[in-house]
Amino acid sequence: MSIDIIQKKLDSYRCASRQEEEQAIREITQEIALTALSRTDFFAHAAFQGGTCLRIFYALNRFSEDLDFILKAPEKDFQLEKYLPGMAREFAAYGYRLEVVDRERQKSTVQKVFLKDESLGKVLHLQHIRQDRSMAKIRIKMEIDTNPPAGGNHEVKYLMFPFAADIVCQDEPSLLAGKLHALLCREYVKGRDWYDLLFYSARRTRPNLTFLSAAIEQNGPWAGQKVLVDQAWCYARLCERIRAMDWAAVSADVRRFVQAHEQPSLNIWSVDLFLSCIKWLSPGA
C-alpha cells in the first residue's frame, strides 16, 4: 500500500520529538509534490530554489517549510494553477486528501498556492503525538517567481522518493546569490537565512554575482540604482547587517527547524561568529 511507503520513510527519520515528526511528515509531503511536478512539463519552465531545495538536494541540516520555484526566463502567461489537479491526484494515491488553496486574487509576478492536509496523521503510526492524539495540519506554501532576475544557472538533481524523478534546481552559486539577496533586502529578519549562510560558509560556496546584481537591481532598497555588486560591496553590506542584528532573537526564530542535538550551537550565535563565518566572502579571500 502507498501509505506503507510513507510510514517506512517516516520511520527512517528516527524522530526524537513531536516537532521533528511533524517536520518529517511535511518534508515527505514536499518530496511527493516535487515528484508529481516532475511528471509534467513544469521543470521545462521552472527551477527549484530556496531552503527546501538546499535541504533535499544539497544536504542542509535543517527542516524547511515551503516549496519555492523560479522560472528560467520570464513568462507573463505562466499559471501555476494548471499543475494543481495533477498534484492532487498524485497525493490521493498516497492517502492524502489534499486541499489546495489559491489566495491570489489578482495577477502577480509571484504566484502562491497552499497545499493542506489533515488526514494523513490519522492513518500513520506516530511515535510522538499530542495528548488528544492529533497531528498538526500539514500546510505547505508553493511559490513561483514568474519574472526572475537574469543570470541564474540550473542543474538537474535526482530524487529517489517516492520514485525516481529528475528535478531542475538552481545551482549552488545561484542559490547563494538568492540567499544573499534575502539577507540584504528582506524587510524582516528570518533566522533561517542566517543558518543557511553558515551552511554556505562551511562549503566555501562562491555566489553567482551576475544573478545577485540583477536581483539587487530588480527588488529591494537598491532597486534601480545601478549598484556595482561585487565581492567587496557584498561583504561590506553583510558586515553592516551582522553588526545590527539581535542575535538572541535571530537564533530563537530558527530553533523549531533545527534538530535537538544541534540546538546548543544556536547559543553561540553572535556578531563575532558571523563576522568570522563570512571571511570567505571578503575581498581577496
- Give the structural domain span for 223: 171-285
Q: Is residue 203 domain-shared with residue 153, that is, in the same domain?
A: no
Q: Is residue 4 domain-shared with residue 138, that is, in the same domain?
A: yes
Residue 131: predicted pLDDT: 45
Q: Which of 170, 193, 224 is the last residue of a domain?
A: 170
Q: Is residue 133 domain-shared with residue 244, that is, in the same domain?
A: no
Domain count, the chain: 2
Number of Cβ within 10 Å of residue 261's Cβ equals: 8
- Residue reference for cell 561585487: 230
Cα 32-34-39 angle, rounded to 5 deg: 95
Q: Is residue 126 domain-shared with residue 235, that is, in the same domain?
A: no
Q: Is residue 86 domain-shared with residue 65, that is, in the same domain?
A: yes
Q: Is residue 109 domain-shared with residue 166, that is, in the same domain?
A: yes
Backbone φ, ψ for residue 203 (5° rounding):
-95, -10
Q: Which of 145, 170, 195 is the last residue of a domain?
A: 170
Q: Is residue 121 domain-shared with residue 99, that is, in the same domain?
A: yes
Q: Is residue 64 domain-shared with residue 133, that is, in the same domain?
A: yes
Q: CATH number for the domain including 5?
A: 3.10.450.620
Write the DSSP assignment of 225-246 as a string of letters. Answer: S-----HHHHHHHHHHHHHH--
Residue 137: predicted pLDDT: 75
Q: Is residue 145 domain-shared with residue 120, that is, in the same domain?
A: yes
Do 131 and 162 touch, CB atoms closer than 8 A? no
Crossing angle of the two packed helices 50-57 and 172-185, in degrees rounded to 10: 140
Q: Is residue 158 domain-shared with residue 236, that is, in the same domain?
A: no
Do 181 and 160 touch, CB atoms closer than 8 A? no
Q: Which of 124, 141, 170 is the last residue of a domain?
A: 170
Q: Is residue 262 domain-shared with residue 150, that is, in the same domain?
A: no
Kindly report each contact of residues 182-187 with a partner whose C-beta sits within 8 Å and lies 24 or more positions away, as own/partner. 183/238, 183/241, 184/216, 184/220, 184/234, 184/237, 184/238, 184/241, 185/215, 185/216, 185/219, 185/220, 185/221, 185/222
Residue 135: predicted pLDDT: 59
What pLDDT tens digit does each residue of the chain (285 aa) get?
478 888 899 999 998 888 888 889 899 999 999 999 999 999 999 999 999 999 999 999 999 989 999 999 999 899 998 998 888 888 888 888 877 777 655 567 888 888 887 766 555 666 555 544 455 678 889 999 999 999 999 999 999 999 999 999 999 999 999 999 999 999 999 999 999 999 999 999 999 999 999 999 999 999 999 999 999 999 999 999 999 999 999 999 999 999 888 999 999 999 999 999 999 999 987
Q: Which residues pair with 48 in a beta bridge?
A: 69, 169
Q: Is residue 146 domain-shared with residue 159, that is, in the same domain?
A: yes
Residue 6: predicted pLDDT: 87
